[in-house]
């Protein structure tokens, strides 16, 4: 009898250990930042060849960035120092050595090796390298051959669309594929829909060539503290007028909308045009940290203002898979810390970044659950979600116009305030139905702390803490 009890106890312990392991292995929302600069993003002197000035552009060491990332609740980050003349060797020898040390100093934050690539014929792009023993060599081979600013003397052939195609083809042949996002894609725009360095056809071309690598863009760029003085007050010019723009979007006709790039924020705009082709093209939010606003820069620390959440296990491979697969939402000001959107029909159910396949004519139930933390954000505020919107658009396949930036089928199909959602603790739930879905569609969700029905163009000197939004990546619904 005694032995039986012992065996029963051992069995129960084993079962409890299995349950604990299963719970530990459950994916959860992990906050991170895919665009962070260290002092290995140098300035350059006037010599020929130019000599790098360490700390000349970005100020802080990688361990400092990682410590701040941990302080502000991040589980992962990507170092993205940008290239310049002969920067690939500096990156390989010095920046990588510091990253290796930072991983030991701050093990709580998974730190990817990457860079801000000067993408040929385009603006800057985040390049994330898979975590492998030869990651240093992988990045060196890409940067040394394909960064458009690497060569000295300047080589104009490195800054062509053909050179960009060669770079993607080179990466496409790798055993473990890197990942790319276009950074601040409309920062060089001169107006709404009047794009600069990044054009819609380039997104389409690159995504067609490398669909498992070229996966999206910054929905919300960094440099969000551009309108703040070092004490957190509004930055004023010599005449006492507000100055400084969110995201460093300097053209008065093409600023950000609620902190988000026009390509993302305008319903039925460029992002919706890409999604309407069925492209798995995702958005993220970053700090683009160079110099914190308290040191007279225009940036927040990693995780201090914006976060990209990935539904993932705590591993390099699965975080990268989550980013590649679109299990992602972006948020500002710690407005929320969890967001689960599910679509279900005919016994099937799926979530953010995934595809639900159902027979035509079925209703699709949409459930939204978000967690609004009952705590102060880094600005000392406890912001509340005022409204949640559900947005849908039709998926009609490739467009003939490679520069198309419109999807006329996209619309806000429902708006929910606290009267329509249920609450249990700090978790809020919303349910709705999309009736009689008889064609391929996608759906995405956004929310805000404001009363604005649509995000408005951000004013000079705007306080970013008063204008908070979150955006999910889409769910696709395909008719079988």
Distance CA 99, CA 79 (A): 8
Contacts of 301 (CB under 8 A, 6+ apart): 65, 68, 69, 71, 72, 287, 289, 292
In the chain, what percentage of residues exceed pLDDT 90? 93
> Is the pLDDT score of 18 beyond 60?
no
> Is the pLDDT score of 290 beyond 70?
yes
**Is residue 116 within 8 Å of residue 108, measured between CB atoms?**
no
Residue 216 pairs with which residues in a beta bridge? 181, 282
**Is residue 60 within 8 Å of residue 102, measured between CB atoms?**
no
Determine which helix (DSSP H) or strand (DSSP E) holds 125, and give its type and residue range: strand 124-129
- Identify the DSSP state of 94: I
> Is the pLDDT score of 167 beyond 80?
yes
The 10 Å CB-count burial string (b at 16+, else e) for 184-205 is bbbbbbeeebebebbbbebbbb
Tell me the whole-structure pTM to 2 decimals: 0.94
Six token digits for residue 25: 């292995």
Q: How many of the other CB atoms lie within 10 Å of CB of 86?
A: 18
Distance CA 60, CA 36 (A): 10
Q: How confident is the model at residue 37 (pLDDT cuts 50, 70, 90)?
A: very high
Distance CA 286, CA 220 (A): 7
Q: How confident is the model at residue 24 (pLDDT cuts 50, 70, 90)?
A: low
In the chain, what percentage of residues exceed pLDDT 70? 95
Q: Could you give the strand order of the β-sheet that contains 338-345, starting from the edge strand earlier in sequence?
A: 348-351, 338-345, 362-371, 427-437, 422-424
Q: What is the pLDDT of residue 49?
A: 87
43-44 and 441-448 beta bridge pairing:
unpaired
Q: What does the pLDDT average to over 287-315?
A: 98
Largest CA distance in the chain: 89
Q: What is the mean pLDDT of the chain?
A: 95
Determine which helix (DSSP H) or strand (DSSP E) holds 90, and give its type and residue range: helix 87-90
Q: What is the pLDDT of residue 3?
A: 56
Distance CA 418, CA 423 (A): 9
- Closest C-alpha among 478, 410, 475 to residue 438: 478
CATH number of 26-479: 3.20.20.140
Distance CA 61, CA 353 (A): 34
Q: How confident is the model at residue 203 (pLDDT cuts 50, 70, 90)?
A: very high
Q: How many helices (H) and strands (E) in the chain? A: 10, 22
Cα 49 to chain centroid distance, Å, stands at 35
pLDDT digits (tens, 9 = 90+) for 412-464: 999 999 999 999 999 999 999 999 999 999 999 999 999 999 999 999 999 99
- Which whole-number Å values give the CA distances from 343 to 176, 311, 375, 419, 443, in the listed order? 31, 16, 30, 22, 9
- Count how many Cα atoms sit within 13 Å of the Cα of residue 393 in the half-sphere of its side chain: 25
pLDDT digits (tens, 9 = 90+) for 64-110: 999 999 999 999 999 999 999 999 999 999 999 999 999 999 999 99
């Amino acid at each position: 009898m005694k032995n039986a009890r012992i065996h029963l106890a051992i069995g129960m312990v084993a079962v409890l250990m299995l349950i604990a392991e299963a719970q530990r292995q459950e994916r959860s929302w992990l906050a991170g930042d895919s665009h962070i600069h260290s002092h290995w993003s140098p300035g350059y002197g006037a010599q020929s060849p130019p000599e790098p000035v360490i700390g000349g552009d970005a100020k802080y060491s990688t361990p400092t960035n990682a410590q701040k990332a941990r302080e502000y609740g991040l589980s992962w980050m990507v170092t993205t120092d940008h290239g310049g003349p002969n920067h690939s060797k500096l990156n390989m020898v010095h920046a990588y050595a510091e990253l290796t040390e930072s991983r030991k100093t701050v093990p709580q934050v998974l730190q990817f090796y990457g860079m801000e690539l000067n993408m040929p014929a385009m603006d800057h792009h985040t390049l994330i390298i898979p975590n492998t023993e030869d990651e240093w060599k992988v990045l060196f081979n890409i940067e040394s051959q394909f960064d458009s600013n690497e060569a000295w003397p300047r080589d104009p052939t490195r800054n062509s669309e053909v050179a960009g195609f060669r770079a993607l083809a080179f990466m496409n042949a790798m055993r473990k594929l890197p990942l790319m996002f276009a950074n601040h894609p409309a920062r060089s725009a001169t107006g709404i829909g009047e794009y600069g360095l990044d054009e819609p056809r380039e997104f389409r071309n690159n995504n067609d060539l490398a669909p498992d690598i070229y996966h999206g863009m910054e929905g919300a760029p960094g440099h969000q503290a551009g309108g703040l003085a070092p004490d957190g007050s509004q930055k004023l010019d010599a005449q006492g007028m507000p100055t400084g723009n969110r995201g460093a979007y300097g053209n008065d006709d093409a600023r950000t909308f609620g902190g988000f790039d026009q390509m993302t924020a305008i319903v039925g705009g460029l992002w919706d045009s890409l999604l309407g082709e069925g492209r798995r093209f995702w958005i993220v939010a970053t700090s683009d940290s160079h110099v914190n606003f308290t040191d007279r820069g225009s940036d927040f620390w990693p995780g201090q203002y914006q976060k990209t959440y990935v539904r993932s296990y705590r591993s390099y491979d699965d975080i990268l898979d989550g980013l590649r697969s679109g299990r992602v939402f972006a948020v500002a000001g710690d407005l929320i810390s969890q967001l689960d959107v599910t679509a279900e029909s005919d016994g099937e159910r799926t979530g953010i970044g995934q595809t639900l396949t159902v027979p035509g004519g079925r209703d699709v139930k949409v459930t939204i659950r978000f967690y609004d933390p009952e705590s102060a954000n880094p600005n000392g505020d406890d912001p509340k979600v005022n409204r949640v919107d559900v947005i849908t658009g039709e998926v009609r396949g490739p467009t003939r116009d490679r520069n198309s930036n419109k999807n006329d089928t996209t619309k806000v199909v429902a708006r929910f305030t606290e009267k329509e959602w249920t609450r249990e603790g700090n978790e809020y739930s919303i349910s709705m139905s999309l009736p009689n879905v008889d064609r391929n569609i996608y759906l995405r969700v956004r929310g805000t702390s404001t009363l604005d029905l649509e995000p408005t163009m951000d004013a000079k000197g705007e306080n970013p803490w008063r204008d908070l939004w979150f955006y999910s990546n889409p769910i696709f619904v395909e008719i079988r």
